[in-house]
Structure 1
Amino acid sequence: MRLFSVSVFLFTIALPVLAQSVTGAQQQSPSLQAGLEAYQQGDYPTALKKLIPLANHGEATAQLLLGVMNDTGQGVPKNPQRAVMRYRQAADQGNAEAQFHLGEKYELGEGVAQSKAFAMEWYTKSAAQKYLAAQAKLDAESRFAERAIAAELAYWGKINAKREAEAKAKADAKISLTEQARDSAAEKITAHDQTDEVKSIAPPPSSNHKSTPLQVGLAAYQQGDYPAALKKLIPLANHGEVTAQLLLGVMNDLGQGVAKNAQRAVMRYRQAAEQGNAEAQFHLGEKYELGEGVAQSKAFAMEWYTKSAAQQYPSAQAKLDAEADKAARIKLAAEANERAVIAARAAEQVKRDAEAKIRIEAEQARAAAEARKIALAEAKSKAEAEAKRIVQAKQAAEVLAAAQAKAAQEAKLKAEAQAKAEAAAQAVKQAKLDAEIKAKAEAEAKRIAQAKQAAEALAAAQAKAAQEAKLKAEAQAKAEAAAQAVKQAKLDAEIKAKGETEAKRIAQAKQAAEVLAAAQAKAAQEAKLKAEAQAKAEAAAQAVKQAKLESEVIIASPNKIKAESADAIKMKVERSLMDWATAWSAKNVHDYLAAYSYNFKPKGLTHELWKKQRAERISKPKVIEVRINNIGIRLVDDSHAAVSFTQHYRSDDYNDEVKKVLQMEKQFDRWLISEELVVESAN
């Protein structure tokens, strides 16, 4: 039954279930937990801020709760279409509660085209997961149908028994019905909405007597000759024949001999009902309840059911009994739910108080630990910086000492090379001198030999003189050799003295380097002390500056304007995309076309022809479902974006799945579609 009060009741008893699903989600997602806590505390703006990104990324609990908020107007204006969109997202992921609420929306026609078939489909899915409200809904539907069928069978059983008794009495008495009696009996016949039932209650015309037009029409109807039945019944109905009016209502209702026409069926039922026909009154009540052929009205439906039941019509009585039982169950369940809600609220308050105390204590402990951590980090940072400076100073001193040692080594090598060069030069000089001495000696020997030869030519007396001259020459050569040895010894002493001087100079340079390194280490220590003092002074100045800045921020923050972030722009783009899909699902042609930019250029059509074509295609199906997922948004700049997604479309007679890319542009603070492209089809 499409009763708003029942819907509200079922939603009320579903809230504890929502809370249970929320508790499970809290253990998995801190962001979801924060959103749910904000919702429970009535902080709907914060809840929306936390839940919308989660829902857009496929979090079923967030999708369900956003559906509830849009459904009941919590933090946002009531929006049945957006509620249906969020319920559908969660329902497609198997959420039983969302499946139940989506079924309600289809049954009531809120935010989506009314469809009893789709409603029962979603109720069945929810009940399959043991969702109590859905099971109760299906049980109520089943019990009502069983009662109506049983009452209908009992009613016609009584009618048939009565007529069989009358027929037997007439046969025993061998009384023939006169023409007038047959007419009177025919007028009392009440046609039912099933062909075989009409056959069971309408006696065949007697072959011995002339049949009335009503009997002829009923006989034609029983034989399935609907054109002949219509030909006979329509004039009778137009002249006020109540049985003809009722049967014409059935034929229009079932499409027997004519196209189904709910409005005409209502007209004929009303004609018969206003003349007091109980069955017509019941059928008219059904039409008002279902909204078929007439504006839906529960009040008018109950009015006609009551009139029919007052005439002991079983189906109407069963209907009123079911409504009474339902109201009683709703009242009892509401009272039980109210008690459960009060107990749950008390338990929740105790839980919140305990959690608040734990949070405060944890926050205090965390703040103290954080302060200690910051102090340790600062001390560690300063020590590491100081150690780094000392290491750098030590490395610089070592580099300098190494450079100085290298310079001393190079000087030593240079001195040794120079000494070797001088020694080589001296050796060359000595060799040259030796060669000269040898040459002189050889020349002298030659001269002596010549003199000897000359002397030999002289007298023997001159041999002694020659001998003395030879001895003199040898002595002179020895003297010159001794002088040369003395000179060489002097030269060697000079070379040795130069080497010792260079080594002494190198030792002095190394000692100077060590003194310099010690001085640099001392300077590094003094620099360290100075840096620490400077760091303390800078920290104090920074603290003063920070305190001043915080006070300025506190004063200036109410007037501070934040620039719009990329995330905020993407959220607006996605919301425009969802509004477009929602308008399409709701068959709202105006809002659907309003989602397109005036710059949009349809392929192969003028803009006006495209708008006309889209309006016809949206209006034609009875039900449209459009679901969107796998959304990707790329911002080209502040006013242009490319949006990719997977689109699932389903209607009465067609369904498909495609991948689309939309080019969107910002116009007057709205994001509109400027280009629409199907990039891949799954069908």
Structure 2
Amino acid sequence: MRRTVMQIHNHSFRGVQAPRRGLTIALRTLCLAALTAGAVSGAGVPNARADFQAGWVAYERGDFLTAYNEWQPLAEKGETRAQFNIGVMYDEGKGLTQDRSKAIEWWTKAAKNGDAQAQHNLGLAYLAGTGVGQDYAEAVSWLKRAAGSGLIRSQYALGRMYDYGFGVEKNEAEAAKWIRMAADQGFDKAQYNMGKRYRDGIGVTKDKDAATKWFMAAAERGHVRAQHYTGLRYLSGDGVKKDAIAALMWLTLSARAGDRAAAKDRENLVSRLPRADRQQAESLADKWRPKQASAGG
């Protein structure tokens, strides 16, 4: 499993507000396609925080063995961030011999202590059968815990499990409920998915206005297909007022990102618009910047 290293700010230790630094997960493609961190339990003791920080500083400079030596005693004492991070180190083989079974072992400890990131990773591991036997029911169990803690990617993954009937009875309404939670927190893939649901009436009542709203929300965060669909909606006036310039802007953005269908639609639209409109749309596309997604994992 591929993981990325980053900082997570402003998580609480037991009654003490302090910045949390740790390792967090990257979106990973699994058998459900585009599924894929969280709550933390710590002693809140200054020395423990200093030891964890020393490990983080070592990790940032690439001294993985020192990081492990700082974190391992904390992990043995039940410090969930250290447990999770050691799991990532075993998973990636950084400073340690790569061993997914050991990664699972440490993530399981952190997950049982309530760490949502570890719960999410376990869910994906059981889903894919990576380091453990494939077990959809167990995957659902862990994803539910992480999703219940508000972890966005777990909410989305759990929704997709209900879509496919993996480990649970297939239930499109339940899928829509969990995916909507992730969409409400700004996850572009969930927003795009909700757009399709409202367009096609999958787990929700068909609603073209709602479909357009969600496609536009995802488009504004840089989702390429959503940008294509948003362009088409501005072109047709489906759920939004017709606007050829806005249509061309969104089609241009999608085409620039490699969407071939959008490029074709853009070419057709360009041939029908006056030069001034084309220039305005190009200028808007040049100035456009994506909205920042939620930091909720």
- TM-score, normalised with respect to structure 2: 0.43
- TM-score, normalised with respect to structure 1: 0.20
Structure that is richer in helix per residue: 1
Greater RCO structure (CA 8 Å; 6+ sep): 2
Whose Rg is larger?
Answer: 1
